A and B are shown apart, each in its own frame.
Chain A
Amino acid sequence: MFIVAYRKIFFTIGALLVALSVFFVIYDGLNLSIEFTGGSVVTISYPEIEPVREQIETAISEVVVDTATIRSVGENGYSIRTRFLEDSERVLLLEALRFGGEFVVIEENFSSVGPSVGAELVKKTFVAIGLASIAIVLFVAFAFRGISKPISSWWYGGIAIIALVHDVLIPTGLFAFLGVVVGAQIDVLFVTALLAILGYSVNDTIIVFDRIREKLKYNEDKKIKQSLEEVVGKSLQQTYARSINTSLTTSLALLALYFFGGQTTQYFALVLLVGVIAGTYSSIFLAGPLLVTVEKVLRKRK
């Protein structure tokens, strides 16, 4: 099949996308939300008349002292991100934004995260992602323990992880980029989405591997000699329709969520969408073909 034959091209595409993502992450950095960094975000709106932006900026700087980021939200609202504010400071800030009763302010939303809570979440996130990855390798190696020829089942687990890294890095890179362009933030929902992608990615890869496993077993039972290249090619041919159709239905659900769903989950849907597409790509174009490459390299070494 052409995918296996031209696998180097597909590896290159995958590697380039990953490299680009890593570049964005390093160059632009990750725009972390206050959930990770600690701090406060106040969302206010002026339902009647609005002060000028400079006025708002001065009012904030008088209370908060340190720098604050102000972003317009909707028609007459502002989202103000500051250092961690005590409750008393929050009251002072709102008072200042009222300009002594000159303007009517509505506090739409307030969230405040202490630095300790943020630091803890960072640790937790790393552990969760690490744990999920380890659990997956172990599971895949276990599920495929029946096949050790031509390559050991640990390779299946390892390759599942490579596919997974690919699928997780691409949306992360996109978000590093979007962080600069539209101020998209890496928040808890983003991490949730990444973990969901992790699940989806492995799920997708396993379906392809399962077909390879079935074919290898069949060949062994019937004593049919067939190269791994052929087995993988044939398996891909038989599973790619499923891979594409499933990612299509999932994408349809996510597109609906992106375009029509609530504001909170809009970026969430986007991360997932990109992850699902990357996941489909990696399960068809990377996972199976990588098995072939690994087998060739191992054979040459002998």
Chain B
Amino acid sequence: MNLDDHENFQRMIDQSLAGAISAEKEQSLREHLFTCAPCKEYLGACNRVIAGLSGFSFEVNPTLNSRVFAALRLRAEQDRAARPRRRRFIRLYTVSPKVWAALAVALSMSVLGSAVLYQVAKYLMVPVHFDNAQVQEGVLVFWLLPSLCAAFCLLAAPVEKRGVA
């Protein structure tokens, strides 16, 4: 066997160790290694290098994990604080008692106002011959629903835009 053949097989050993060899070449390499002492020696030296690489044990600073955990928690808290809060339709946890009171007043006024308005409208609509059902619809659509919407918008609005002290 000439030198070129050994070089070829030793290149195949490198490829095999790197995981860059075909199954066919691997088989041919195995067969060659049974009979070739120099190539076997070459493989042995490579394997010793690889085993030698496992002979290092780096010390990890014992406080490193806790330091990393602390940094992660801090960064997560900072991110949470910096991130705009997710909008929910009604964020009950940000609603102060004053807002609840304002809402109660608004709802009462809506209902009471609707009743008063209905009586007034019923009286005023007599000359134009509107019946009671039409007056009720008018009060519902043009007074009660808008006032209820306004009350709930107050509740759902961001704190700074509620306009309630």
Our verdict on whether A and B bind, yes or no, reads: no
**Which residues of chain A have a CB within 8 Å of any CB of chain B?**
none
**Which residues of chain B have a CB within 8 Å of any CB of chain A?**
none
